[in-house]
Amino acid sequence: MTEYDLHFSPSSSRDAGSFKLLELPSDLCKLIEDAMESMTPLRFKIKGKADENAVLCTANKTFAIRSVALSNSVLVVTPPPDTSSLDFTADAVVIRDQVSEILELTPSVPKLHTTLASLRGREYDDGQEDDGMNESPDDMKKITYDDALRTIQASDIEIDLGLKSRHILIINGELRPISRPYLDRLLELILNVLIALSLPHNSAPVEALSSSLADEHDVPRTVSTQVMSWFGTMQHGKWKMDVNALIKEVGLGVLRHHRHDPINRDDLVAKWKSLVGDAFESRVDLGLLSGSYLASTSDPESLTYFPTSLLPIDPAARFADLFLTRSRWKAKDITPFLADIAVDSKERDKLLLKFARATTDADGVWYTARAQYNG
């Protein structure tokens, strides 16, 4: 057995607490091994303010960092700083620090909610030119795209996807949520222009489409091209529409008017089909709106707008709101409202086990609250 001559570092008191042990999940280990093998740069970011739990971000994933106490302390040792010194032998190692905890990484949903919620009041609406908007009140701080990359606890790719899914424009570097009525109007205009110019929805020239929207409807190109990127892909000057995504958003535009005033299922579908036109009415499907409405328990044909985006992001508060809204949930009805707070179905099932009780009857699985909530 090899023997080593142990020494305490002269700077051990200064080094105390400066070393951390980080346990890497298998996918992060693979990422590092692949980068070392291919000799490609690899960078992680640790994000978090003083009042936040830190997260570690790769290019496309976010991991929560949790401290776990070790039953035995671990010594951090290094080679001596100067092996030529008479104080050290060839087999000497220097004790630099003592570690009694390990940092554990677990997959986490991107934490975009707080920052993007602060954008309320900065909506971009019809008639606002991209360089001539009214100044905001002094207490309404602008948030730039660079601010988002620096402060939001999510990977860069997750931030981009979050901005896209929440329909946040980037105007002169600033984040501006598009107003819902304006978005509804733009999508109707896009569908109408496709038909008027006989453009294929799976290969429409971006320049022709954006020019028509700018010249005929005063839609700035920087707005129309971003909206197109939300509802499709653009390559080599062509736009390929994501039909389901665009049709879904048109349906949400109809449903949004019925948060307190329910709409009949057939009336919703009929109006939805009339807005998307003959070319796309066959793609209208109520399943596209899952997680955005509630069907009345007394009249299943009566639907009310109930979007996941307006629910709390904290799991305990989310379940509290859900069970205050409805004391019993069918499994298929509650799961769409949990998709954005769980990284996968396994994590979702853990949340259900923690905050809800499952019972089974002739109608299937039902969930009720573990805690009692007073409405």
Contact criterion met (CB below 8 Å) for 319 and 368: no
pLDDT computed for residue 83 by the predictor: 54
Cβ neighbours, 10 Å, residue 244 = 14
Contact criterion met (CB below 8 Å) for 92 and 80: yes
Return residue ranges of the chain for CATH 1.10.10: 311-375
Least confident span in 1-5, 253-257, 315-319, 332-336 = 1-5
Q: What share of the chain is helix, strand, coil (3-state, %, to 5)?
A: 40, 25, 35
Residues in the chain: 375
pLDDT computed for residue 96 by the predictor: 83
Mean pLDDT, rounded, of the chain: 89
pLDDT confidence band for 129 (50 / 70 / 90): low
Distance CA 215, CA 206 (A): 14
pLDDT computed for residue 138 by the predictor: 46
pLDDT confidence band for 272 (50 / 70 / 90): very high
Q: Six-digit token pair at 72?
A: 């035995």
Looking at per-residue confidence, does 51 or 233 come out higher?
Answer: 233
The mean pLDDT value for 290-299 works out to: 91
Q: Report CA Rg, the chain.
A: 27
Distance CA 219, CA 222 (A): 9
Least confident span in 25-39, 86-100, 173-187 = 86-100
pLDDT computed for residue 137 by the predictor: 46
Distance CA 164, CA 148 (A): 13
Residue 218 φ/ψ, nearest 5 degrees: 60, 35
Cβ neighbours, 10 Å, residue 227 = 24
pLDDT of 86 over the 90 cut: no
Please state, for a pLDDT cut of 90, what percent of the chain lies above it.
69
CATH of the structural domain 311-375, one choice from 1.10.10, 2.40.70, 1.10.287, 2.30.30: 1.10.10
Contact criterion met (CB below 8 Å) for 80 and 11: no
pLDDT of 132 over the 70 cut: no
User: pTM to 2 decimals?
Assistant: 0.84
Helices 206-217 and 180-196, axial angle in degrees (round to 10): 120
Residue 51 φ/ψ, nearest 5 degrees: -100, 15
Give the model confidence (pLDDT) of 20-29 as tens digits.
Answer: 889 999 989 9
The mean pLDDT value for 282-305 works out to: 93
Cβ neighbours, 10 Å, residue 87 = 9
Cβ neighbours, 10 Å, residue 65 = 18
pLDDT computed for residue 131 by the predictor: 46
DSSP label of 339: G
